[in-house]
Structure 1
Amino acid sequence: MYKYIYKKKLTTLCISASCLLASTSLSAKEIVVLQDSFEIPVQQNQVVFVPFAGDSVLSPIILNDLSKTELKVTNKDLPQQPHSSSELSGTLPVWQSMGIPYLVVGNTRSNRGKIVTDYEVVDVKSGRVIEGKQTLTADNNKESLRYAGHVIADKVYELITGTPGDFSGRIAYIEEVGTGKDKVSRLKVMDADGENAKTITEVAGSIFSPSWSPDGNRIAYSVQRDKSYPVIYVQNVSGGGASALTPFKGSNLSPSFSPDGSKILFSSSFEGSADIYEMNASGGKPRRITNWPSSEVQPSYAPDGKSFVFVSDRAGFNKPQIYRYEFGSGRTTKVSSSGYATSPQFSSDGSQIAFLSGRSAAIMNSSGAVTTNLGNTGIDEAPSFSPNGKRVVYASTQGGKGILTIKSLNGGESFGKSGQGTIRSPVWSSSPK
């Protein structure tokens, strides 16, 4: 009845007409009764995830990641537990009659101290394995396996939706406890599911505006200790000391890496009022870009590197607005249209800008029209886009506690993560390369 055809990365199950008739769509309350007397409840989910054979670590992470998206995922009430497409050869009509579009199956094995995972995403209606079998090899330790789970979830999401997932990126944020001379600030990094938080650096004083390098391996941030100017540092996330980038007498704030990671924009007042400067990410002499009598702060590169957005109060005291500077022409144009707009950050495709409208987190398109209001954060913090632009993370306060909120922009699940003291400036990285 079934014939397997393997062609490059495309695997197709050829099914007889009688089998295809079993895939008729049914309501949620109907039960499919097959000739073999199986009773299969029809699922209202888009994806069935079968826990991988030989695995207890990856599967919960993958399932949790996918459950946070707009995809409806289940691992409940399954008629069988297949772990490869070949195991579906006799029961594909059963899965088709459940009305589920996609089935994720896989298995893990040990090979020379490594953990190898083979997995497949099956288009249930056609029986096709999308882009063929996928294989991922990871070190056999908790950290590597956790990351491998996120990478697999990224790929599964991409195979189904056509858009890369955002689970293997990480979120950096600042956690503050105490006040005044007793304030301690920690720069922390966590996985995109809100777990696995680690402290990268801790200082007596304040940390401001962390920014990821494009490869996800470095973070630039400002530190202000008692009775000193803010200084920008660059640090490797994997360890090692931080290098001071701006030992200038002035407020050095808001670093932003260029898309190729070679340069950094920042604001500084070391030559008078705050202006925007650009310098090599490894240090050196900064180049002044803006030179207005007003204050220009919070620069952020556009994804193509041809322009950047920044904030200026040239419109009047306490009336900050977002402007765009074009490197090629030197032209500056006003982008925002609200009365108070700060902290701009681009989405990865450059089509959207997350910013703070008054004290509310918001999103506007690249022309300045507000498209989404995310609500009052309670503190002056703007949202940051996930790598694929489908989610944002932002900080707020609830009941005196700092909260990190990861919010879906397309119908997925939103969730919060509380911390000690005040949480500030979360920013989402791409996957480490």
Structure 2
Amino acid sequence: MRTLKIACRIGLAAAALVLLAPTLAPDTARAELVVDVRGGQFQPMPIAVTDFAGEGNLGPEISGIVTSNLGRSGYFAPLARDRFPEAAPAFDAVPRFDAWRAAGVQGLVTGRVTRDGQGRLRTEFRLWDVTTGQQITGQQFFTDPNNWRRVGHIISDSVFTRITGLGGFFDTRIVFVDETGPKENRLKRLAIMDQDGANVRFLTPGDASVVTPRFSPRAQEIAFMAQTSGEQPRVQVLNLETGARQAVGNFPDMTSSPRFAPSGRAIVMALQQGGNANIYQIDLVSRTTTRLTSSVAIDTSPSFSPDGTQIVFESDRGGTQQLYVMNADGSDVRRISFGQGSYSQPAWSPRGDLIAFTRMSGGRFSIGVMRPDGSGERILTEGFHNEGPAWAPNGQYIVFFRDPGGQSGGQLYMVDITGRVEVQIPTPGFASDPTWSPLLSEVR
């Protein structure tokens, strides 16, 4: 057995993961349990997640998280418990595959929750291919009992990745702008929650109006724009561990639309000067400031390619808001959007293959994607007011907010890059400007 370690310092203890040796999982059997989502013509896989044995209600709670996560992904169709052909099989027993096949199930997840001698929670699971009767994978996790929800997300990621071949996205968090009060005078606070809407925590007290939060890809930090009454809006960075906030740069004018470089050591943002705005980069260690664009237009909303060599941004230099790509040093600027309407809020996929955007045309707002050269444009979802696309760390899903208008407010949704899956993400109230964290195991 080999050991994997996952650590996240956002109020969580480290969790050690130990892979169980597969009992009956030859490579020839593994290829059968697959959902091919890359072509967009997939059918959700029928799967069953049995109640994990042991520890009172904790086992069913963890398996319930796995069931919910897989169902919300849109790539799985979990079987309702009242249709299970047998009670949860003992963890060390072989399931009745003929009965599960008759119920239409292709994948089966079983598990067990116990405590070790040190009081740590030990959670084990197995993923079975019902068609072949083979175990596909199995793992066990040791962690503080308070981290039981996160264990459910990690198991979900393991099952999701093993079957789809995509990276996980359940063991993550979302930061968003929580909005309360009447529409003309809303209190806007930064909030953080698990990707499924649980464990909401407020990060700012509402002393300043906040917009466009962005996660650092490497550290426990959030960049965002804040405006206090009587002062210029400023880009700030919030440390999630200490709660400390500091302004980025010492500019006399408004700064906005921050985005971290892939290294996490620099930020690009827009600086407004008069009626124009240009893009600047600030090294967070040396505090060196570099101007990247020099136009008489409004250049804003920069976003790095994952390899750090290019930046996409929006500009009205051609008369309307369009998307442009340039090298990271500001050279070789070229326009990439040419469809009807205006384009804004570009976000480069973590996989590097797509750029997400908001498009406004005919009074409707759409969330779409295109390749970095502007080809292959596709609209994923549209409506009265859709804005603020941000990528999941696996580059397969996009979170955004939708505002129906009137005195109502925004709600968060996620859509996959095929456009076939669209799911609302619960929040305690109105919400806007979401940003998705990296996998918690990858954050220092």
TM-score (norm 2): 0.80
Contact 1:51-1:75 within 8 A present in 2 as well = no
What is the match of residue 127 of structure 2? 121
What is the match of residue 335 of structure 1? 336
Contact 2:158-2:168 within 8 A present in 1 as well = yes
Between the aligned partners of 1:149 and 1:251, the Cα distance in structure 2 is 43
Contact 2:72-2:423 within 8 A present in 1 as well = yes
Contact 2:401-2:410 within 8 A present in 1 as well = yes
Instruction: Report deviation, 1:243.
Output: 2.0
The match for 1:214 among 214, 217, 235 is 217
The match for 2:426 among 403, 407, 417 is 417
5 Å-filtered alignment, 1:312-323, equals 312-316=315-319, 319-323=320-324
Q: Secondary structure at the match of 1:269?
A: strand
Residues 1:394 and 2:428 are matched in the alignment: no
Between the aligned partners of 2:53 and 2:183, the Cα distance in structure 1 is 54
Between the aligned partners of 1:364 and 1:402, the Cα distance in structure 2 is 21
Contact 2:293-2:330 within 8 A present in 1 as well = no
Kindly provide the CA deviation profile for residues 374-404 of structure 1, in whole angstroms up to 9, marking residues without a partner as x.
Answer: 112526x232222223322211223613211
Q: Secondary structure at the match of 1:146?
A: helix
Instruction: Report deviation, 1:354.
Output: 1.6
5 Å-filtered alignment, 1:319-398, equals 319-327=320-328, 330-338=331-339, 339-358=341-360, 359-366=364-371, 367-368=373-374, 369-378=376-385, 381-398=387-404
What is the match of residue 414 of structure 2? 406
Residues 1:74 and 2:76 are matched in the alignment: no
Instruction: Report deviation, 1:330.
Output: 1.9
What is the match of residue 295 of structure 2? 292
Contact 2:380-2:415 within 8 A present in 1 as well = no
Contact 2:380-2:417 within 8 A present in 1 as well = no
Between the aligned partners of 2:379 and 2:49, the Cα distance in structure 1 is 32
5 Å-filtered alignment, 1:147-162, equals 147-162=150-165
Change (3 A) 1:56 1:72: closer
Q: Secondary structure at the match of 1:154?
A: helix
Residues 1:110 and 2:111 are matched in the alignment: no
Residues 1:311 and 2:318 are matched in the alignment: no
Contact 2:257-2:270 within 8 A present in 1 as well = yes
Residues 1:428 and 2:426 are matched in the alignment: no
Kindly provide the CA deviation profile for residues 87-145 of structure 1, in whole angstroms up to 9, marking residues without a partner as x.
Answer: 017x33433444422111110111212111111111122232224x201222111xx22
Contact 2:298-2:315 within 8 A present in 1 as well = yes
The match for 1:59 among 58, 63, 70 is 63
Could you tell me which runs of 5 or more consecutive residues in structure 1 were left unpaired when the two chains were aligned. 1-7, 15-43
Letter in structure 2 aligned against 1:210 = P
Instruction: Report deviation, 1:203.
Output: 2.9
Between the aligned partners of 2:417 and 2:379, the Cα distance in structure 1 is 9
Change (3 A) 1:231 1:179: farther
Please identify the structure whose Cα radius of gyration is greater.
Answer: 1
Q: Secondary structure at the match of 2:253?
A: coil
What is the match of residue 24 of structure 2? 12
Between the aligned partners of 2:359 and 2:322, the Cα distance in structure 1 is 10
Larger RCO (CA within 8 A; separation ≥ 6)? 2
Between the aligned partners of 1:138 and 1:240, the Cα distance in structure 2 is 25
Instruction: Report deviation, 1:409.
Output: 4.3
Instruction: Report deviation, 1:412.
Output: 4.1
Q: Secondary structure at the match of 2:205?
A: strand
Instruction: Report deviation, 1:416.
Output: 4.6
Letter in structure 1 aligned against 2:225 = S
The Cα RMSD (Å) is: 2.6
Instruction: Report deviation, 1:424.
Output: 2.1
Contact 2:196-2:426 within 8 A present in 1 as well = no
Between the aligned partners of 1:157 and 1:13, the Cα distance in structure 2 is 17
Instruction: Report deviation, 1:177.
Output: 3.5
Contact 1:181-1:205 within 8 A present in 2 as well = no
Instruction: Report deviation, 1:272.
Output: 8.2
What is the match of residue 31 of structure 1? none
Instruction: Report deviation, 1:151.
Output: 1.3
TM-score (norm 1): 0.82
Instruction: Report deviation, 1:370.
Output: 2.4
The match for 1:273 among 272, 276, 280 is 276
Instruction: Report deviation, 1:259.
Output: 1.3
Could you tell me which runs of 5 or more consecutive residues in structure 2 were left unpaired when the two chains were aligned. 1-19, 27-43
Instruction: Report deviation, 1:345.
Output: 0.7
Aligned residues, how many? 388
Kindly provide the CA deviation profile for residues 207-231 of structure 1, in whole angstroms up to 9, marking residues without a partner as x.
Answer: 1211101136211111111121111
Letter in structure 1 aligned against 2:423 = S
Between the aligned partners of 2:25 and 2:165, the Cα distance in structure 1 is 22
Between the aligned partners of 1:336 and 1:156, the Cα distance in structure 2 is 37
Kindly provide the CA deviation profile for residues 40-76 of structure 1, in whole angstroms up to 9, marking residues without a partner as x.
Answer: xxxx962111111121431211111111121111252
Change (3 A) 1:185 1:98: closer
The match for 2:144 among 136, 139, 143 is 139
Change (3 A) 1:60 1:262: same
Between the aligned partners of 1:283 and 1:221, the Cα distance in structure 2 is 20
